[in-house]
Amino acid sequence: MNKYLENLNNQKITIDSTPLLEYAKAYNIPIVKYESLQIILSFILAKKVEKVLEIGTAIGYSAIQMASIKKDLKIDTIEKDLTMYNLAIKNIQTYQLESQIKVWLADAREIDLAVLQKDYDLIFIDAAKAQSQKFFERFKDLLKPNGIIITDNILFHGLVENQEGLTKNVKKMVEKIDAYNKYLATLPDYRTIFLTTGDGLAITMRN
């Protein structure tokens, strides 16, 4: 992101997320790209989003950013790794956002859907890339009729477009991401916009 534009975008940001960014970089923890985050925050404000379901909490960076721009926003976020879960809880407490963000320690493929809301305005899929279609199919019915589902990392560092020379394991994962993208593109009753922003975003809405 151009630094000039980044500074303009940050005029309304009220929290200093530098410690989170530095921690993620130091320990090689993947978090949402800045440009992708800006699009998500814009949707939250433009569509007056009240409830968000996030699949993949990591250290809590994206949930903290979302909660910080809208004080009445409620977020359920699911994380299966205990270390990440504990870090997220600590970071959310540091920013005093416990009243807005609820972190669930669970595998998103197995969590009891009864504990979640039934009317999310936005679902953000940012977990195991090879499982995106399973997450989409499992949680789409928790979305409001006019809600949106945003999936991150649909290009996976450009490897989805260019699969030459990949190891067997990486190629298998990339093929699953490619299959998910094509699934979204042809899904009845939904329309998906694919963006190159960040590491690729898919924005899916019901027709």
Which pLDDT belongs to residue 8?
Answer: 73
Kindly report, residue by residue over 131-175, the tens digit of the pLDDT: 999 999 999 999 999 999 999 988 887 777 777 667 777 788 888
The burial class, CB within 10 Å (0-12 / 13-18 / 19+), for 14 is exposed
Distance CA 31, CA 33 (A): 6
Triad 78, 80, 85: Cα angle to 5°: 75
Residue 47 lies in a domain: yes
Residue 98 lies in a domain: yes
Kindly report, residue by residue over 23-81, the tens digit of the pLDDT: 999 999 999 998 999 999 999 999 999 999 999 999 999 999 999 999 999 999 999 99
Q: Is it the case that residue 1 has pLDDT exceeding 60? A: no
Residue 137 lies in a domain: yes
Q: How many domains does the chain have?
A: 1
Residue 28 lies in a domain: no
Residue 58 lies in a domain: yes
Amino acid at the residue 118: K
What is the CATH number for 153? 3.40.50.150
Kindly report, residue by residue over 164-205, the tens digit of the pLDDT: 667 777 788 888 888 999 999 999 999 999 998 888 999 999
Enclosing domain of residue 198 = 33-206
Residue 5 lies in a domain: no
Residue 22 lies in a domain: no
Residue 37 lies in a domain: yes
